[in-house]
Structure formats: C-alpha cells, structure tokens
C-alpha cells in the first residue's frame, strides 16, 4: 500500500510540475504584455500627439511616436521603459537628446542582443563609437521605433533599402559607383540575388579593408565573391570595385570606352538618318518626275 501511495504522490507531483512549467510562463508573459501595454499607453498620452515637441538650444525636437508603427514593429510588445529605462519620472528629467541618446541606445540594445553587440564592438563602427565619433550606431541602421525584420520591405535593412541606409553616411563616389555598377542596377530593378553593401562588407562585423579579418581584405575577396560567383579565380577577385566614370583613376578605361561608344552611336544614328532622308528625297523626286511624265 505504501508503495502504491508513493507512486500516486510521485505522479501527482510530476503532473503539478508539468502544468506549472506549461502554463506559468504563459501567464507570466501575458502579465508582462499587459504591463507593457499599460506603460506604453501612458507614454503615448504625450508622445502619441503629432504636435508634441520641445525646444533645446534653439532647436525644435519632435517627440511624436507613431503608435501603430511602433506596435507593428519587432519591439511592439516591449514596454517603452525597456529601452528608456531612465525616463521613469513624469515629466522626465535629465533626458539625453540627439547623439547622446543614440550612444545610450547601443547600451540598451546590448541588454538583449548580447551576441550581436559583442561582434559590433570589434567592428569599424563599434570602435568609432567607443571614441564617441560619428560612427553608425544601432538606431542609425535599424531605426528606433520602426524596427522590422530584414525580410520585411519596410525594414531599413531590407536588401532593397540597404544602399539607401548606408548612404546616410557613405555618400559621394562610393555610393555613386555602387549605383552605376551591375550589382546596384540589379538590386534597384528588384533582384533578390545581386550583392548589396552588406553582402560584401558584412553587417555587424564590418572591418577596414586593410584588416586581415575583413571580408574585403585582398586575401579574403575571392571567398567573399564565392558567396555568389562559383569558384571565382584570384584574378577575377582583383577587379576594382567602387570606380566611377572619370578620365583618371581605375575608371579611366571605362570612361573612354563609354565616350567612344557614345560618339559611335551618335555618329552611326546621324549617318543612318541622313541616309534615310536622302533615300526618301530620291523616292519623292522619282515619284514627282513620274507624275509629270504621265501628263
């Protein structure tokens, strides 16, 4: 009897533990979600107003947050205070703005995205961030209140939007050359396979070209190209990227080739038009003479 009773007690304990493990996390998650919803509703009483703004050092700062946009984002179920942990008092005191706020964002992202952040810290962007320089921070690339999965066309890191996102910092010939390249044109036309900035340079692990660990270091370029191009030879990988059509530098051969074919096309079409006009003139003259001869 004692053995049977012990078995039943053990079965009961196992069932209790099983149901606790099954339902308690859901209940806790539901409670957390309800709590986040209440916090966000409180925040949006002010920040949900399109005209909500303040002035700091003569500059107007818009503090409006689109409620629907945030709720549809990846962080839509998070409480505002998950990231803005120092804004507990209302009205807020000692609030960071602009670049100072962006620098704090990196620390906040690190709370959840530990693995990604550890890679970012060793990258070219991360090292500049440590120096408090104008480096690309999490919110610069991913956004802040409108973060979506990279597969979502609304995402700033969706492959159709990556170049535009990088362009916020990398302007001039670098971006111009990409847009003029086969890769850039293919992506702009909707290609899902053509290389974007991150396909070659990486994302969180971007390093300078001279760094041996960089994906665009001369020793690693063949492997980087091999992600798309089957067995690229070393000479193939030596091709110059980010060149522009200029009469000097690496783009010089292409510049004069383009000029040659441009003028060749213009001259050919011009001569063709002249030939057609002469032919038409001759036919009209023959028709006119034939018409006069019949009378």
Name the average pLDDT for the chain. 82
Q: Return the sign of the alpha-carbon dihedral for residues 95, 100, 105, 106.
A: negative
pLDDT tens-digit readout, 15-48: 666 555 555 454 444 455 557 788 888 888 888 8
Determine the Cα–Cα distance for residues 234 and 218; give it in Å rounded to an integer: 10
Q: How far is CA 250 from CA 113, 175, 256, in A?
A: 41, 16, 12
**What 3-state DSSP class applies to 44?**
helix
Amino acid 248: pLDDT: 80
Q: What are φ and ψ of residue 135, in 5° steps?
A: -85, 160
CA angle (264, 268, 271) in 5-degree steps = 140
Q: Return the sign of the alpha-carbon dihedral for residues 275, 276, 278, 279.
A: positive
Residue with more model confidence, 191 or 127: 191
Cβ atoms of 214 and 122 within 8 Å: the answer is no
Residues with Cβ within 8 Å of 175's Cβ and at least 6 positions away in sequence, in order, are 163, 166, 167
Amino acid 1: pLDDT: 47
Determine the Cα–Cα distance for residues 137 and 106; give it in Å rounded to an integer: 7
pTM of this prediction? 0.71
Q: Is the pLDDT of residue 232 over 80?
A: no
pLDDT tens-digit readout, 43-71: 888 888 898 888 878 888 888 999 999 99
């Amino acid at each position: 009897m004692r053995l049977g009773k012990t078995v039943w007690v053990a079965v009961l304990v196992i069932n209790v533990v099983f149901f606790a493990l099954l339902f308690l996390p859901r209940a806790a998650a539901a409670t957390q979600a309800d709590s986040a919803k209440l916090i966000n509703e409180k925040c949006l009483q002010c920040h949900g107003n399109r005209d909500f703004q303040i002035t700091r050092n003569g500059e107007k700062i818009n503090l409006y947050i689109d409620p629907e946009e945030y709720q549809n984002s990846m962080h839509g179920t998070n409480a505002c205070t998950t990231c803005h942990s120092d804004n507990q008092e209302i009205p807020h005191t000692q609030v960071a703005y602009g670049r100072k706020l962006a620098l704090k964002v990196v620390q906040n992202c690190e709370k959840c995205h530990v693995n990604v952040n550890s890679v970012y810290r060793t990258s070219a962007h991360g090292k500049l961030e440590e120096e408090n320089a104008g480096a690309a921070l999490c919110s610069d690339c991913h956004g802040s209140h409108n973060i979506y999965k990279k597969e979502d066309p609304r995402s700033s890191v969706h492959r159709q939007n990556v170049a535009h996102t990088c362009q916020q910092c990398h302007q001039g010939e670098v971006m111009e050359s990409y847009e003029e390249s086969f890769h850039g044109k293919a992506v702009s036309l909707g290609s899902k396979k053509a290389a974007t900035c991150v396909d070659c340079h990486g994302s969180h692990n971007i390093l300078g070209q001279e760094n041996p660990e960089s994906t665009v270091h001369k020793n690693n370029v063949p492997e980087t190209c091999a992600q798309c191009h089957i067995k690229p030879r070393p000479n193939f990988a030596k091709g110059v990227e980010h060149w522009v059509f200029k009469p000097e530098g690496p783009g010089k051969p292409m510049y004069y080739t383009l000029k040659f074919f441009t003028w060749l096309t213009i001259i050919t079409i011009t001569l063709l038009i002249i030939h057609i006009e002469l032919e038409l003139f001759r036919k009209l003259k023959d028709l006119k003479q034939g018409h006069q001869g019949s009378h």
